[in-house]
Structure 1
């Protein structure tokens, strides 16, 4: 199953490399695009759940790495939740 990574820049300028077990993440994000924080988290949640479900369909179990990645995204996003202008930039899809 092809995996995909996506590099993001958080509102404070820090960068993170994120993992998806499926290329479906490319349907939710575009390189160079900025997303409102809540929109980014919602898109990541949906993409990573779909990716995990694809793993389940193929191998019979969910992708724990996708759920771990989602938990990390949600944890970092909470730091910026009080900023109504917070955006996340998707730097690249790898």
Structure 2
């Protein structure tokens, strides 16, 4: 399966690389686009869960790395969820 890294910038300006075991991230995010924090979290949840299920369909087990990445994203979003102006930017995709 093709893996990818998507780089994000959090509302506090920090940037991190996030992992996906599938290119499905491209179906949910666009580089150069900024998303309200709640929308970003919902899209990340959908995309990484779908990516993990693609691994399950192919190999018979979910992708623990994708689910771990989703947990990291949930934790990173938590401090910003009560700020309606908080946004996350998708900076790039790396294949």
Q: Which TM-score band applies after superposition, normalised by the shorter structure?
A: over 0.9
Residues 14-93 of structure 1 aligned to structure 2 (within 5 Å): 14-93=14-93
Give the structure-1-normalised TM-score: 0.98
Distance 2:37 2:91 in 1: 15
CA distance in structure 2 between the partners assigned to 1:81 and 1:26 by the alignment: 24
Unaligned runs of 5+ residues in structure 2 are: none
Query: Aligned pair count?
Result: 94
Q: Which runs of 5+ in 1 are unaligned?
A: none
SS of residue in 2 equivalent to 1:55: helix
Q: Which residue of the partner structure matches residue 8 of structure 1?
A: 8
Which whole-Å deviations, capped at 9, do the CAs of 1:44-90 have from their partners, x for residues lacking one?
A: 00000110000001000000000000000000000111211000000
4+ runs of 1 displaced by more than 3 Å?
none
* 1-structure distance, mates of 2:59, 2:81: 36
Structure 1 residue 42: Cα displacement: 0.4
3-state SS of the aligned residue for 1:82?
Answer: coil
SS in 1 for 2:83: coil
CA shift for structure 1 position 9: 0.1
Report the aligned-residue RMSD: 0.5
